[in-house]
Amino acid sequence: MKSNPSVKILIFDLDGTLVDSSSQILNALNEACSEADCGLISKELFATLLGLPINSIIAHLDLDSTSQLKLINSFRTKLKNSINESNTLYEGVEDFLVLSKALGFHLAIATSKPTYLAELVVANSPLSNYIDFIQGTEGFPAKPAPDVILRCLNHFDTKNGIMFGDRVEDIMSAVAVGIPSIGIAQGHHLIEEFIVAGAKLGFKNFLEAFREADQIWSLLTNLNRAIKN
């Protein structure tokens, strides 16, 4: 990849990282499951799966390929309607994004959601004021594969980036790409798990990340030096 060290990019997972979408997604999914008469997914189980591709979330259901595709299409239709109504950011996210833009960072999203749904979330939330590029996952492997992060970096023609995510898959994807990552422990995974997976830093939430922002900027400074050398 050609690298432009002057371009600084922060890459974020979407669901569970920037957007508190657990109830929104689970409600849409269970409505679709109810219609398909295949059983409901508990909050406890779903909490461990949020952020994974939909195929992984419903893998335990006893569905043939045709029924699975029908369920996914129904779920996405219901989710699209919900996204058009409202999307809630986690506390501290907008303050962190405001600071990031003020310091000259480009901001991107790398999500397991299809791009069109991720674009709807951004368009119908305060994220629309800050996000420069949105990359969903379709037609290529999802995280922990590196593809979705690589597409974000390629868009900006840079290696000078940091990945933020709430799952170890986000961290593993960044490790595979070769960029630093930061775990946000708002969901199923703990800070210790992020560090074991290869994260450089971990925070409980974006309120804490905002307070400790100097640690984050120093990661990019060190990465920039490595690229130049």
Q: What is the pLDDT of residues 52-81, one digit of tens each?
A: 888 888 988 888 999 999 999 999 999 999
3-state class of 165 per DSSP? Answer: strand
Domain boundaries, the chain: 9-20+88-228, 22-85
Mean pLDDT of the chain: 91
- What single DSSP character describes residue 62? -
- Output the CA angle 184-189-219, nearest 5 degrees: 35
What local confidence, expressed as pLDDT, does residue 3 receive?
Answer: 56
Token representation of residue 104: 């000259």
- What is the assigned CATH class of domain 9-20+88-228? alpha beta
Task: Report CA torsion sign: 128, 221, 155, 194.
Answer: negative
1 pLDDT tier (thresholds 50, 70, 90): very low
The answer to whether the peptide bond before residue 144 is cis (omega within 30 degrees of 0) is yes
Percent of the chain with pLDDT over 70: 94
What local confidence, expressed as pLDDT, does residue 229 receive?
Answer: 44
- Contact of 16 with 167, CB cutoff 8 Å: yes
